[in-house]
Chain A
Amino acid sequence: MAKRSHVTTTVNGDEYEFLCDADQTLVNVLRDELELTGTKEGCSTGDCGACSIMLDGDLVCSCLVLGVEADGKDIQTIEGMAPSADELHPLQRNFLEINGLQCGICTPGILIAARALLERNPDPTETEIRFWLAGNLCRCTGYDKIIRSVQAAAEEMRKG
């Protein structure tokens, strides 16, 4: 039996320690060890983007990252997106208002990806939004309302 590795990370600002197997993926660790099930696992092969999270500022599919690779790194997941229990992030609010989600399974990944886009580019064109979110599959919405939601949130955030 291969030994388990000891990993220390920060998730949504809180420090976590966990033990994981050498072949355990980060999405697995988040969901099964840390019980942060907001991050979804749709394909386990990096195709669907449902497991998108931020790892040291990079947008990654957490199913393609090993748990041990998170050692010493900063993780941000959907659970850390809302500023408080009463308040939603503008992206989250606009997704609700404009109906940017239907079943909601892809939503955590899309929100994380969209926030990463707006941090880099506060005023993206529709084409830029479509390109940026191309790694996240949605089977319900046809994407149109997702684009509108991101545009609306971006405008709101620019106005501050």
Chain B
Amino acid sequence: MSKFDFTLNGNRTTVDAEPVRRLAHVLRDDLGFTGTKIGCDAGDCGACTVSVDGRQVCSCLVPVAQADGAEVITVEGLAENGKLSDLQEAFHLYGAAQCGICTPGMLMAASDLLARNDNPSEDEIYDALGGVLCRCTGYRKIVQAILHVGDTSAARIEEPKVGEAVGSRAAKLDGRQRVDGSEIYGADKAPEDALWLRAVRSPYWRATFSLGDFEPLKEKYPGLVDVITAADVPGLNGFGVYPDVKDQPALAERFVRFKGEAVVAIIGDFEAISSISDEELPISWQEQEPVQGFGPPVAENAPQLHDDHPGNILAYGDVLKGNVSEGFKSSCAVFEESFQTGFVEHGYIEPEAGWAQRIGDRIEISVTTQSPYMDRDEIALIMGLEPEKVRIIPTACGGGFGGKLDLSVQPLLAIAAWKLNRPVRCTYNRLESMASTTKRHPSKITARYGCDQDGKLQSYDFEGDFNTGAYVSWGLTVKDRVPIHATGPYYVPNVKARSRAFFANETPAGAFRGFGVPQAAIAHDALMDMMAEKVGIDPLEFRHINAIRKGQETATGQKLESAGLDQCLEALREDWGDWRAHAEAHNQSATNIRRGVGVGCMWYGCGNTSIANPSTMHIGIKPDGTVTLYSGALDIGQGTNTTMMQAAADGLGISLSELQLVWGDTDLTADAGKSSASRQAYVSGNAAKLAGEDLRGQILRMANVGETATIEFGKNKLIVHDGDTSHEINLGSLSALDNGEVLRGEGYFDPPTEPLDENGQGKPYGTYGFAAQIADVEVDLDLGTVKVVRMGAAHDVGQSLNPQQVEGQIHGGVAQGLGLALMEEYIPGRTENLHDYLIPTIGDIPEIRTYIIEDPEPTGPWGAKGIGEPALCATAPAIFGGIYQATGVRVKQAPCTPDRLRAAILAKRGLNGNGHG
């Protein structure tokens, strides 16, 4: 140990540390400055960016000895005397922080730039921030914020009047703590005496194993307190997202089905658990040949992963409408093609993290999650406890996108903290986060589409295989969602769609923004382009002709009451025409750099498929007049804390600033379901609105006044104004409820759905979101590289609860869609960290023109529908359409990496991969 002195945010600081201890760990663990985040601990993500002597550095790469004598500034040093800096203010007002986990790093990189250059160009911003990854925002609002530092008047809005919160661009109510470094995420806080836990994982894709004696290891490492195994699971050693499917063990028993599966967990002081190498553990392995990929798992006599799933088939999903062969007979343009996509990683910048403690006969878990109530119920089963004995206290969530719906650290922490009766914490490192948590389902789709000579769609025949990996996770949802959405957002009289989900010895595939719909969209929209070309109709007009409209029936026979796709296409028509013409003109004289513009369309059912998925919200008033919304709808960066408050405030008739928020904690909030399936705005938004209206109704009845009365919320009292008369309600005189409140409103909403019959006919969702996107791309024919130059995105959201947040979702979805299209594929052994697994950086995301279309949904709150997943699904098809105009190559495999595109360009010219005939 040596002593090091440096200035930290202006204060002289001395630490005793090993010289090579990294600055990020010194800041966070030794000095308590947890505003600096660690996303990868390898210099790839930039979340840990701080300033050392005026230069931005990844603090996870800097030994503390190198900071000796230096001036170090972290995010906590940006605000002065509690006042946000101009840069922080701009980030806050422009919506540049969504989940907020990358924000400290972004702010420090931007500070470095602005110190050198107070009027940077967009390109200079790309250069300076190129080392910091963001997975939520699509970077556009970050760029806007930096361009407007010190001049934020355009983004500053007045506090909305009472009743006008919904639809306003209110900045995030929890935005301040996301820009000043004070927000607490999964890895940021745990009791001083918490032990550390590390999972030891299978090094094989398929193997049996046996465990030996752990005592010698404990003797060798006195800091090792305990080792937990499957034998320590008090209840059911299985979890899974469906109430009746619990196939994934918390800790494997004798057999592992994928590389990265947790086998045992070691618990002790940090030093001990990080020095023990996996090879030192007494685990003897017998490796077996794994079954992987698309063919082998479903081949005859393939080794089976699960006893109850012969042939490794999880399930089939079917939708049948009309008669497809008749439909193809009446078609003049028919195309059949096959398409393939790979595993895609969520790439949230916050790895899984949390801590647990036992309180008497209860277990409490603070954790980063998208689904507190589902976590609670799953942990209860694993622990053999009643659900009420489990408390989930969500921390801020540094990005989820579906990947934090399934359990990760929760069961290990609960088992260990329960057994040892001590607080236990765990933070996944990036490698284990990527190796052990779910991915997007790889898909292999063969589809056939036909239209008549007027371009009207006649028939669609679809078969899709989806690799769900080693465990079910969300495989059943994907197999249901895909055939329902298979046609794309078009009216098609004859449909036959079948999906199949199968198991393989691979990383489990689960929920990732779209549940299979983005994969299906790549197929249907490529075929749309091919038919349009054959019948000589412009691709956008072809989609406009076929766009499913209000009153028409979907493939499942559901009559739509809100369907704004035609309006989305109309919003894009002008840019489409201009951009296409520009690309064509450019290509007349271009040599190797060609342009192309493509269009993609999507739809997405909001909420869980054909099952009850209700949300409940409460608003309570305390005797002192405090009004609080209790929301279990998790804000994972998308802004739900803000939009739920807007809905509740307008339902109740109170100004936004007078309403308090309690969120997430399962002891304090009711079940508002999962932050997934684009359901929170629609389902929980309704519940928040109804809770407000219920409370308002109670107050009006108490005052015996009519609907038009207004409520004034005062200290210890309410004043109800009805025309010229006023009624005062003294809150202290009301009898208190169990929780100390005197008035409490409740809102409950379950989207109206019906089960699907054996032909997939029924009403699977309460409503659907729609979108059309266009992409203008530049392709280097020699290199096979694709640069997206600009995008247009028009989204029918029914009613925008908060346009600022809706735009943020669109930008972020486009960025993830661009990644899916061009660069992202998780390949174990090759792309298993954020260095080799490429996600879009700030320089990859072009200008995005957004158009918010509002075709109101009658059952939505003020007409609102979801936007989370719709934002992503149309992007890859639009980019692929652009690549076709530029090169004549139809992209059939995502990601369309330079090597694949170059090979396709050469094949089209009749050349082999070497450029020779």
Q: List the B side residues contacting A36 at CB < 8 Å.
A: none
Q: Does B2 interact with chain A (Cβ within 8 Å)?
A: yes
On whether A3 and B20 interact (CB within 8 A), knowing A66-B63, A68-B63, the answer reads no
Q: Does A22 interact with chain B (Cβ within 8 Å)?
A: yes
A69 interface neighbour in B20, B69, B70, Cβ under 8 Å = B20
Cα separation A24 to B68 with both chains bound (whole Å)? 14
CB distance from B859 to the nearest CB of A (A): 58
On whether A22 and B63 interact (CB within 8 A), knowing A5-B19, A68-B20, A69-B20, the answer reads yes
Q: List the B side residues contacting A3 at CB < 8 Å.
A: 2, 65, 68
State whether A23 touches B66 (Cβ < 8 A).
Answer: yes
Q: List the A side residues contacting B19 at CB < 8 Å.
A: 5, 22, 66, 68, 71
| Chain A minimum-CB-distance residue to B5 | A3
Cα separation A2 to B69 with both chains bound (whole Å)? 6
Give the interface centre of B20, B63, B69, B70 by most chain A CB atoms within 10 Å.
B20
Q: List the A side residues contacting B2 at CB < 8 Å.
A: 3, 5
State whether A66 touches B69 (Cβ < 8 A).
Answer: no
CB distance from B145 to the nearest CB of A (A): 34
State whether B20 touches A66 (Cβ < 8 A).
Answer: yes
Q: List the A side residues contacting B63 at CB < 8 Å.
A: 22-23, 66, 68
Cα separation A1 to B65 with both chains bound (whole Å)? 11
Q: List the A side residues contacting B20 at CB < 8 Å.
A: 66, 68-69
Give the interface centre of A1, A3, A69, A71 by most chain B CB atoms within 10 Å.
A3
Scoring B residues 13 to 54 as 1 if CB is less than 8 Å from chain A, else 0, what string do you get?
Answer: 000000110000000000000000000000000000000000
Scoring B residues 784 to 818 as 1 if CB is less than 8 Å from chain A, else 0, what string do you get?
Answer: 00000000000000000000000000000000000
State whether B66 touches A22 (Cβ < 8 A).
Answer: yes
Cα separation A3 to B65 with both chains bound (whole Å)? 8
Interface of B is mostly: loop
Scoring A residues 1 to 43 as 1 if CB is less than 8 Å from chain B, else 0, what string do you get?
Answer: 1110100000000000000001100000000000000000000
Interface of A is mostly: loop
Q: List the A side residues contacting B69 at CB < 8 Å.
A: 1-2
CB distance from A100 to the nearest CB of B (A): 28
CB distance from A158 to the nearest CB of B (A): 23
Q: List the B side residues contacting A5 at CB < 8 Å.
A: 2, 19, 65
Q: List the B side residues contacting A69 at CB < 8 Å.
A: 20
B66 interface neighbour in A1, A2, A71, Cβ under 8 Å = A2
Cα separation A112 to B69 with both chains bound (whole Å)? 38
Cα separation A66 to B20 with both chains bound (whole Å)? 8
B68 interface neighbour in A22, A66, A71, Cβ under 8 Å = A22
Cα separation A141 to B382 with both chains bound (whole Å)? 59
Cα separation A3 to B6 with both chains bound (whole Å)? 12
Q: List the A side residues contacting B65 at CB < 8 Å.
A: 2-3, 5, 22-23, 68
CB distance from A121 to the nearest CB of B (A): 14
Cα separation A1 to B69 with both chains bound (whole Å)? 7
Cα separation A22 to B17 with both chains bound (whole Å)? 13
Q: List the B side residues contacting A68 at CB < 8 Å.
A: 19-20, 63, 65
Cα separation A23 to B66 with both chains bound (whole Å)? 6
Report A42-67 residues with CB < 8 Å from chain B CB.
66
Cα separation A69 to B65 with both chains bound (whole Å)? 11
Q: List the B side residues contacting A71 at CB < 8 Å.
A: 19
Q: List the B side residues contacting A1 at CB < 8 Å.
A: 69
| Chain A minimum-CB-distance residue to B66 | A22
CB distance from B600 to the nearest CB of A (A): 40
CB distance from B616 to the nearest CB of A (A): 54
Report B68-113 residues with CB < 8 Å from chain A CB.
68-70
Q: List the B side residues contacting A66 at CB < 8 Å.
A: 19-20, 63
CB distance from B542 to the nearest CB of A (A): 50
Cα separation A78 to B2 with both chains bound (whole Å)? 31
Cα separation A3 to B69 with both chains bound (whole Å)? 9
Q: List the B side residues contacting A22 at CB < 8 Å.
A: 19, 63, 65-66, 68
Give the interface centre of A1, A22, A68, A71 by most chain B CB atoms within 10 Å.
A22
CB distance from B8 to the nearest CB of A (A): 16
Q: List the B side residues contacting A23 at CB < 8 Å.
A: 63, 65-66
CB distance from B151 to the nearest CB of A (A): 40
Cα separation A152 to B377 with both chains bound (whole Å)? 61
| Chain A minimum-CB-distance residue to B64 | A22
CB distance from B618 to the nearest CB of A (A): 55
Cα separation A133 to B100 with both chains bound (whole Å)? 42
Q: List the A side residues contacting B70 at CB < 8 Å.
A: 2
Cα separation A121 to B276 with both chains bound (whole Å)? 22
| Chain A minimum-CB-distance residue to B2 | A5
| Chain A minimum-CB-distance residue to B65 | A22
Cα separation A113 to B20 with both chains bound (whole Å)? 25
Cα separation A104 to B311 with both chains bound (whole Å)? 56
Give the interface centre of B19, B65, B68 by most chain A CB atoms within 10 Å.
B19
Scoring B residues 497 to 539 as 1 if CB is less than 8 Å from chain A, else 0, what string do you get?
Answer: 0000000000000000000000000000000000000000000
Task: List 15 other contacts, CB 8 Å, given A1-B69, A5-B2, A66-B20.
Answer: A2-B65, A2-B68, A2-B70, A3-B2, A5-B19, A22-B63, A23-B63, A23-B65, A23-B66, A66-B19, A66-B63, A68-B20, A68-B63, A69-B20, A71-B19
Can you name 12 A-B residue pairings with CB atoms under 8 Å? A1-B69, A2-B69, A2-B70, A3-B2, A3-B65, A5-B65, A23-B66, A66-B63, A68-B19, A68-B20, A68-B63, A69-B20
The 3 closest A-B CB pairs, nearest first, are A22-B65, A68-B19, A2-B68
